[in-house]
Amino acid sequence: MSNSSETDAFSADLSSGLAAFDSKNFSMAYQLLAPLAAQGNAESLWRLGMMQMNGLGMVENQPLGFENFIQAAEQGHAFAHHMIGVAYMTGEGVDKDINKAIEWFEKAAEFKIPGPMYALGMLYEDGKEIDQDLEKAQVWYDKASEVNTP
């Protein structure tokens, strides 16, 4: 089997898997994406992580979901960075650690996505988990609205 047809099959499975995920056909998404995740495909790892974290089409397995987020993040997947921050913030799939959450939200923010910026703003504004810092909160809210404005 030549490489180009392997690549074609890979992309066909990936796009079918993503379509199944987006239409909430999670068992089909899992069947298509799990083999690609096993090959280290970042997007598949992230989607698998989302299904495992939230028990979508399968029994919830948060520690495994967290592991998949880590593997996707190692390949530079922006939303995986954000979800690792969420996991550390909520203690889902990993021991709660607000400092690690902040660290991962800051890494995720470097990808210019608003989610982690809002999360940081809320943490600093809230002041329950960390010392309240309204100036820092405002900085993060401003950054988030900048990336959200085309």
Q: What is the mean pLDDT of residues 124-129?
A: 95
- Per-residue model confidence (pLDDT) at position 7: 85
DSSP the chain: --HHHHHHHHHHHHHHHHHHHHTT-HHHHHHHHHHHHHTT-HHHHHHHHHHHHHTSSS---HHHHHHHHHHHHHTT-HHHHHHHHHHHHHTSSS---HHHHHHHHHHHHTTT-HHHHHHHHHHHHH-SSS---HHHHHHHHHHHHHHH--
The whole-model pTM stands at: 0.91
pLDDT at 55 exceeding the cut of 60: yes
pLDDT at 150 exceeding the cut of 70: no
pLDDT at 2 exceeding the cut of 70: no
Model confidence over 9-42: pLDDT tens digits? 889 999 999 999 999 999 999 999 999 999 999 9
- Per-residue model confidence (pLDDT) at position 6: 83
Using CB atoms within 10 Å of the CB of residue 8, give its burial: 0 to 12 exposed, 13 to 18 middle, 19+ buried: exposed
- Per-residue model confidence (pLDDT) at position 3: 65
% residues pLDDT > 70 (the chain): 97
Model confidence over 129-146: pLDDT tens digits? 999 999 999 999 999 999
d(CA 51, CA 55): 6
The mean pLDDT value of the chain amounts to 95
CATH fold of 3-111? 1.25.40
End-to-end CA distance of the chain: 45
pLDDT at 70 exceeding the cut of 60: yes
Task: Identify the residue with better confidence: 10 or 123.
Answer: 123
